[in-house]
Chains A and B, each alone.
Chain A
């Protein structure tokens, strides 16, 4: 037993010895050794975050849409700030002295809470300002500079598409734990959708400093530094030249212009007018209030968000459904007396009568579609109006209407499509008939479609029955992305039924004068543009001018939707603008210079503001 106790005591002694060694070591580290005394004066190690360059955004021809410039953030560490020449600091950065004093006082008050953290004092100072500051840095203990990359935009195009970058705010930081205060994040457009690819990875450098706030040297020659990894580039499907041209056409007009490559679903151009000027995009913080308060809402992306009545272009959908449901054949003719005279009636415009399907599209006859639509809904195949309507709705939905298409554009909205419930609420259950909802025949009433939906409709018809979800990003040179945008979405309408409708669209544009064709202003010799006009009534004043088209007729390369608010007939503004865009894309040069001039000079914003 005594022997055992001795063994126990030896073990205890061992533990005491180790603990004593620890205490001695800690005594030397914490009390004796001055090397490790970190005070405000000789906080020898300083971490400087290295921010990565953001990935570039390129257009479909690898031209740079969004590139990078260098700017500098001047950081302040309030604990280390000494008395300083505030006036001098203000001169360098062009700041207001009163504001700076206030700011400095605030930091001073909170310095214990902030501790040794560096927080931004001046954001995005220019290289010149930074150079001036560095010369005098010794005068400003507690201040230091960090280089940041900010965007530059070689083309004045696509600001709404590219989206802006802003510092992560509190709400964002809460939702995204990987980010820290001061990080830039894409908040809209491609910058937001593809943030994870273009952001890159932060690194840091470790510096040793002396008491005069001068960085003496990099710690251990940067052995422990971490390089920032630049973000990866994104190749968008946008055609920079075409986008720029589209924005010029839409200048001083309110509305949208969308172009898609039908075979791939790639968005070539997406203009929402009025939009943001790229010169304001890089320094969005300074312009943010101005943009938000603008009555024309430049931050609102009409092309993917605004639900408009499609107007007569929707007749194309009804024509296709009527053919598929067998309620009309391509030879079916109806006569029109300038008015559909059943119930409250629907007015039409003067045109040769009677018309067959092709002519009805070419001349945009309202009567024809009122009859055809009622036949679809009241089809004896279905037991009730509700059932007929549900079938119609199902087929409309197969074109992508009434829902988000699922594009990679972050702010996309789905428009709206009425359901049987909608009408039950308006009219009472089973109290409505095909005549109650006759507005839908000509794309009016309870239906809302975004310009993107309409461009997608043009692409679907161009493809003779299917669409690929429109998207703005083709890929990235080093990462495989967007494999989901390869799948064909077929409509419920048979391919053969598209032939007659396309014939009608072709004739609407390419008929001789006096034939009653609605869109002759959109004709470009040799391009075989097929189109359909729309003139959408709306509660906000003058009719909206609408046009969708694609070209060439066989093997189409581009499908376009133009939607111009309060601009009157579809043929007056939307058709020429859409056709100019096609001419630019397919011919690379514009022959119809007079028309181009007229369209670019046209200022229609007054139409909206006057109402």
Chain B
């Protein structure tokens, strides 16, 4: 066990972020389901009262994890925990109750529990245990198969529970695997194709190309080893691309010509592309040609997705694909939610309407107001300042965990940290992306903020196990 003075080395910045997010979640839930009949924030008949109980019990969990559980248990029990979580996942299909069309909840008295939340930790433990074993080689076929099995077994069961959103989160492990030796190209190509596909489907080719070009600049910077310079260029270029369609409104430049917004974007990025082409010819670096080829291929992908999806496919085929991807399973409901969500966030303006002053999120008409769409309430009541702050907090946590993980002497701990950071990132990315309309509607919670005991407990456990593991560094 750890000596008393070593507790001083606990990573307080992470705990501070954790507390900020819990508190934000609590008051936002209060605000989202607020009505005058129950104006006490501790009213236990309401969700905000319940969330208070979840938060307090999470603190207890955190306390226990830090002070009383021997961290050696995680390594020794990893496989038993993993096996147990698989059994729970299977059991919930038969003994669970149905909530919103998915069979993934246990109900014990007044408490509902979703094993899929906890199985992320179990899977992480199993992966960390496997990858940190002395004889393991990730790049061998056998190794890849083992890793694949560990991830895909829970994913398959969760998909059977009709919780496609939760299953998607397991994709986050690819970031950890990348760190542990998976080739960067697998990662890049996979992410790029999926991202472009989703962005094109959920917004427009305009945004897809904009994103693509931004990515190209970043890739170029990273590959040339001049990341900072390229980020600076990107920062200048982004607003230019973004407002390029407005060029059509400036009489000095274009008179009364009307062009599609993609065309204006093309005009804007053309100089950058030409510069890149020239430097590719001059330097004869194969990497510049690679980037160019990727860019052009992606543009084709974007337009073909748009074209195939809108023009070639019949309506029922479209909805079948969307169903398969877990996007817009209920088009009417989902489209409506996102629209409402964007109105709510957009109406917040720079500094928001103020606590309890939101109007768009007060109605009960939009479901999931306190769970998956909690970010709307933050956006409406605290404005751009609030949303940027929350994004900053998440980013800070994700980066800090990665940095801490890299410092670990123990491979098990490092893999655990990377997995935590990746999963946190996935939730952050999909959930916020969904509420601001750049990701399809996938029902997963915003970590530490959304209403719900299972999610809060699991993330608390996940985070604090890592904080406890991190203490071992000082031994």
Query: Which A residues fall within an 8 A CB radius of B?
Result: 4-5, 7-8, 10-13, 15-19, 21-31, 33, 35-38, 43, 45, 47, 112-113, 115-117, 170, 173-174, 177, 181, 204, 223-224
Contacts and interface: CB of A to CB of B under 8 A. Distances in A.
Contacts of B343: 36, 38, 45
18 contacts: A10-B184, A10-B222, A11-B175, A11-B402, A13-B222, A17-B215, A26-B379, A26-B388, A28-B242, A29-B345, A29-B436, A31-B350, A31-B384, A36-B342, A45-B343, A115-B357, A173-B37, A181-B37
Interface string B194-215: 0000000000000000010011
* Chain A binding surface SS class: helix
Contacts of A5: 406
B438 A25 contact: yes
Contacts of B432: 22
A33 B346 contact: yes
Given A17-B218, A22-B432, A30 B348 contact: yes
Contacts of B222: 10, 13
Contacts of A15: 395, 398-399, 425
B279 interface: no
Contact of A31 (B242, B349, B403): B349
B40 to A, nearest CB: 12
Interface in B415-456: 421, 425, 429, 432-433, 436-438
Nearest to B207: A25
Contacts of A45: 343, 360
A23 to B, nearest CB: 6
Nearest to A79: B359
A17 B195 CA distance: 13
A509 to B, nearest CB: 58
A19 B424 CA distance: 13
Contact of A115 (B175, B362, B437): B362
Q: Which of A7, A116, A174, A177 has the largest number of chain B CB atoms within 10 A? A: A7
Nearest to A174: B37
Q: Which of A10, A11, A36 has the largest number of chain B CB atoms within 10 A? A: A11
B395 A36 contact: no
Contacts of B347: 36-38
Nearest to B239: A24
Contact of B345 (A8, A11, A36, A173): A36
Contacts of B406: 4-5, 8
Interface in B377-433: 379, 383-384, 387-388, 391-392, 394-395, 398-399, 402-403, 406, 421, 425, 429, 432-433
B178 interface: yes
A26 B349 CA distance: 10
A47 B346 contact: no
B336 interface: yes
Nearest to A27: B384
Contacts of B184: 7, 10
Given A16-B395, A26-B436, A47-B363, A8 B342 contact: no
Interface string B353-371: 0000101101101000000
Contacts of A12: 398-399, 402
Contact of A224 (B336, B384, B402): B336
B45 interface: yes
A19 B395 contact: yes
Nearest to B45: A177
Given A31-B384, A115-B362, A177-B45, A25 B436 contact: yes
A11 B384 CA distance: 26
A23 B391 contact: yes
A30 B336 contact: no
Contacts of A116: 359, 362
Nearest to B195: A18
Contacts of A43: 359
Q: Which of A16, A21, A173 has the largest number of chain B CB atoms within 10 A? A: A21
B193 to A, nearest CB: 15
A23 B363 CA distance: 26
Given A22-B433, A30-B345, A36-B345, A8 B383 contact: no
B8 interface: no
Contacts of A224: 332, 336
A36 B346 contact: yes
Contacts of A11: 175, 178-179, 402, 421
Nearest to B340: A45
A22 B359 contact: no
A24 B210 CA distance: 12
B402 A30 contact: no
A30 B346 contact: yes
Given A11-B179, A174-B37, A30 B399 contact: no
B178 A7 contact: yes
Contact of B359 (A4, A30, A115): A115
A24 B238 contact: yes
B471 interface: no
A8 B406 CA distance: 8
Contacts of B215: 17
Contacts of A181: 37
Contacts of A4: 179, 406
B227 interface: yes
Contact of A29 (B178, B342, B357, B363): B342
B285 to A, nearest CB: 18
Contacts of A18: 425, 429
Interface string B114-140: 000000000000000000000000000
Contact of B227 (A13, A26, A174, A223): A13
A8 B402 contact: yes
A220 to B, nearest CB: 9
A41 to B, nearest CB: 13
Interface in B291-307: none
Q: Which of A13, A18, A37 has the largest number of chain B CB atoms within 10 A? A: A18
B327 to A, nearest CB: 18
B47 to A, nearest CB: 12
A221 to B, nearest CB: 13
A21 B241 CA distance: 13
Contacts of A26: 345, 379, 384, 387-388, 391, 436
A219 B14 CA distance: 45
B384 A170 contact: no
A22 B391 contact: yes
Contact of B438 (A19, A21, A174): A21
B157 to A, nearest CB: 28
A23 B37 contact: no
A21 B362 contact: no
A204 B336 CA distance: 14
Given A13-B227, A35-B346, 8 more contacts: A11-B179, A16-B399, A22-B433, A24-B238, A25-B436, A29-B346, A30-B379, A36-B343
Interface in B216-241: 218, 222, 227, 238
Given A15-B425, A36-B345, A37-B347, A30 B387 contact: yes
A27 to B, nearest CB: 7
A112 B359 CA distance: 11
Contacts of B438: 21, 25
A30 B36 CA distance: 28
A47 B365 contact: yes
A30 B350 contact: yes
A129 to B, nearest CB: 28
Q: Which of A16, A17, A22, A27 has the largest number of chain B CB atoms within 10 A? A: A22
B63 to A, nearest CB: 29
A19 B394 contact: yes
A103 B35 CA distance: 22
Interface string B292-336: 000000000000000000000000000000000000000010001
B81 to A, nearest CB: 26
Contacts of B346: 29-30, 33, 35-38
A221 B433 CA distance: 28
A59 B349 CA distance: 58
Given A29-B342, A30-B348, A36-B347, A17 B399 contact: no
